[in-house]
Structure 1
């Protein structure tokens, strides 16, 4: 009987209590386990002099990141990993030791601007994956060693302005292959400017003690980039460099002695040698054979190239993405969940994976179509031209856009235009990274911009965590758009409308809230019938009245953006397939002025927000 009682099955109450105890024990273990990311950040906090009060919430929650949201102040997150530290204007002081941050493998951005840090520049070489460094407006001083930035091949932006740094500009900075934005202004740098290896969008060396001639690779920059350096010369500055002193004339060479007397044939009794015969018949035959073989080899190479092109053309017939990823959406906020399962793009047939992406920039890490299709992906939405996807390649997020309105464009014409776009470099243009050609549709790949579009900031729902744009920021955005548009006009003079699709949803905002123009210069490769229905250039008054676009059409679109930024009202005309004067924002503003409906800022903004509408696209959606 005792054995029977021992063998009796446990009661449900006992099982429930056992499960609760096990879960509680597992939770206790999980809370007790060390988190390397949290430990690294807390060690970095303890290395800062006066951070206890400023960073008081560090450690208050179990983990610093929750998806793309940072739980700790100043911590930037992406997919649950620490992507950057943005500790700006916090009154932090002392020196910076980056050694505690080495265990963070996804750390790409450091921004400690406008604090009171001092001492030498931090040793950044241990943080191999850094992309952006912002240390301006501090008190860093002393010389920078020549190899201080050696090995940081992914570094793109370096801001060291308004410090007390001296000595020569380190050559390791100039050798970084992906660098495109540098700020060294208001320091005490001396010596000559090194010749930068990469093609810079922006370089600010103003107010230093530099001297010598501006390197040839930097002569296309604005003169303001070199202002305040009295000993600099050469283009683009007005002061010309003094020509180097003429070299001393070489000493005259001694007169050559006359050659010894050579008797002619026959003078010394020797017979003259007979004249040489022309090339033998055998040599002529050999040359003919070589010529024939060379011609055959050339013909064979041409046939091989044509065969490869034919195979590639057959490969282009294969669908790039499975039909299960296709979807329709009335607006960018409506996403069909059936097209993506578990945030992964369905894989296409194997032959499509053999396709090749064409990169147009040398400052980007290479990947192929196979990597792109297997990457963790997310649909951003559907815009004017088609669907947009965000894909995570290694630690970089890129945006892939599918275009079906280019199917009448020939392969060579498309390749040439994409290479032309790849050569455009400006601080207010979002660069094209790569593209893929297929007859029915094309893919364009660019960097992902996390702050989204100007339209989302103007017309989205804002709260304390995502406030609207203040007026200084709006002014800076408008100026940046103007600079980017001016660059397009100067660089692409053959295009009637260099942008052609300028609207607030095609103005992206980078991490500093500076504008980046997107979807520019696509008019030559868009089918004309589709362009007339979809692109902003064909929704202008001049096209509605005269059925033509002019050089001023992009300027009109810029004016609409300025009115949109000032009033907060969404241009409803952009939602229609053609120009509608009743929905035109410019006509609405004129009507408000004529009817004297202008009010104070607060009343005007509230009336506009009640009348305006939301944008039909999210960030980086075509």
Structure 2
């Protein structure tokens, strides 16, 4: 029995050794020879094409030391970080002169490890062969910008690992295979062909890029089509339909196999579900309003307060929190002067409901103005400084206000005060921080001036209510520029612009971390306040909520960080400072990938996606395509990779990883990349 077990153990060791050798072995000569024949077919039978590209069956492109060869520059390999000692997984033959032949799937699929075929912008003819399904591990099929014809083969749907299909700008025709919608695709680009029939029922919510424009397609568009806009579907045949991009499709059901019937069946339970939500919401709202009215009545009776009519409306009046201004008279409750002012927490809910109760007006001394001198900071305009000089709380209440947005920590409004200056008011929700601590924090932040940090002009602090006033920045946020609506005068952000934004934000955050920690001292022209002694013991102040929507653009399109310290925890919390570094790393990932963070806003999902791509040694797939469209000698791409490494150091929280850098260290690394980029630009000029 012992001999049998020993024999089995020896066999297992040999088997594992063979498996290991198979994973880390060299690409076989048969595979290399097959790929050279594949390239010859792409070149229309020109057997000199392989020689021109350095493809040589006697040289293994994946073996250590051969990666820098011409053969190694047009293929990518599995293996170590240096890309060797593995199998060929990627073939890059984009815009290669002389590729006017056909795609031979049998020769390509002889390389079982191949994951990506990219032959865009050549002159390939013929079609996409049915045999492409034999490349079972294929994840990217990129054949755009050729002269391919025929149908899109249905066998593509057998490639369960396929994530990217780019067949744009060819002469392909026929219907799109319906089962394409069952693949877990990230990108599907089929524009500028001659496809007809209907669009498969793609789950557009999970796709990052999608376009079928400039074809002969007809019928209903998929759900969530508004995510990509009209330009991804039009022009097509006249029968294209579906709201909100086109006219509604006919309401009658088709033969049962089309989409109209399916959409109609799907719409019925959704309508019932939404109706239930509406009724439930109305019941909850009615109960909340009842409790509010009851508590206000009891409190008024207890304090002996009386109500009187007033025409003052402003930030808290729900009729003023839209772009439309009315003059309806509303009733507010004026508290006894001896009573402490406190805006009810239900005021936030009142904002969301039309006709809800308005808030109580506090005395004019409640607003702490940080810029009474009227002098502008490096980022504040003279108009805003002048408005802040004489700013009173009544001005905010009586001025028309427009709701800008709601977030996890409160709402923001645009308020135009007397004199025409536009201000932004941040209303902090459920701020449980001590009033004295919040006051000291805002005063310290107001004294620390940096061109990349938007300073507060004033603030209001009560038991359950915190307001912070800034100058309104009309050019919007980085979030809208990257992921939202872009003005017609603004094109996509290029590499230089994104690097500039990254460096400016890093400088501002590093300055605030250092200055507010007391190590360099606050730069202030104001005389110390009575709370400075206490403030000196408070320690550094973190931003607490750094994200793309809080990076705004000044009139000169320079980035600045808004809402600094508004939601920061009290005291010198090292974890909060590390949280700022992590948030900045997520911001870098958004700049580099062009992808938005999830609704949670912590960037964990984006960081996981980037990590998974890097582990597969697909670093180039991480970057936003707008960054890679400029061409060049590759030096910019190298700096992108370096900035990506900085981002990953900021977000890496895995066990055993090195401690994250400080914001000062991060700013130093980013500025070193920017200085190198500036020198490279000067040399090119």
TM-score class, shorter-chain normalisation, is 0.3 to 0.5
TM-score in terms of structure 1 length:
0.39
Indicate the structure whose relative CO is greater, using CA pairs within 8 Å and at least 6 residues apart: 1
Relative to the length of structure 2, the TM-score reads 0.36
- Higher helix proportion: 2
